[in-house]
Amino acid sequence: MGDQIFGSQVRTDTLVAVGRLGRTYPAEIAATINRRVTEIQRAVATLERAGLIVTTKVGNTRITELNPRYWAKDELYALLLRLSELPRYRGWWTVRRRPRAMGKPL
């Protein structure tokens, strides 16, 4: 159900993860959706060419997020948020996103 609407399963999963997680990076996406990092890197490159996401290199990490200048960014985010609640994705979003103060154990 709508699982390949962005061309392939891995591409759809990657985009849904970027939407749900916010700022993320390929290794985190790979761990979240249980794929190889190289698959995610390929999907990220394709989605970036399509203008849906943007990436920024910070140190050795390629920060990945939805393109804030995409013409339908709000509609895209609304769709991805809905998709992320499908049974396929429920249970994947366990990575902590809220801040943790310095000095507090993980």
Partner 1 sequence: MTSSLADVAGAVAAHLRLKGIDVVVVGGSAITVHVPAVYTSHDIDFAVPTGQRLGEITAALAQIGFVRIGREYVAPNVVYSVDIVADVPMIEQEAIYDYALIETTSGMLKALHLEDAISDRVAAFVHWSDSESLDVAERALSAARVRIDDGRLVTALRRLRPEGAAASLRLELARERLNKIVS
Binding site for partner 1 (CB under 8 A): 20-22, 74, 77-78, 81, 85, 93-99, 101-105
Question: Between 19 and 26, whose beta carbon lies closer to partner 1?
Answer: 19
Nearer to partner 1 by Cβ, of 27 and 81: the residue is 81
CB of 61 to partner 1, least distance (A): 18
CA nearest neighbour of 96 among 32, 16, 12, 15: 32
Q: Which is nearer to partner 1, 49 or 98 (CB)?
A: 98
Nearer to partner 1, 87 or 103 (CB): 103
The distance of closest approach from Cβ of residue 52 to partner 1 in the complex, given in angstroms and rounded to an integer, is 15
- Nearest approach in angstroms of CB 92 to partner 1 is 9
Alpha carbon separation from 6 to 10, 72, 97, 100 (Å, rounded): 9, 15, 25, 34
Residue spans of alpha helices (H) in the chain = 9-21, 26-33, 37-49, 73-83
Angle between helices 26-33 and 9-21 (to 10 degrees): 110
Distance CA 102, CA 106 (A): 10
CB of 86 to partner 1, least distance (A): 13
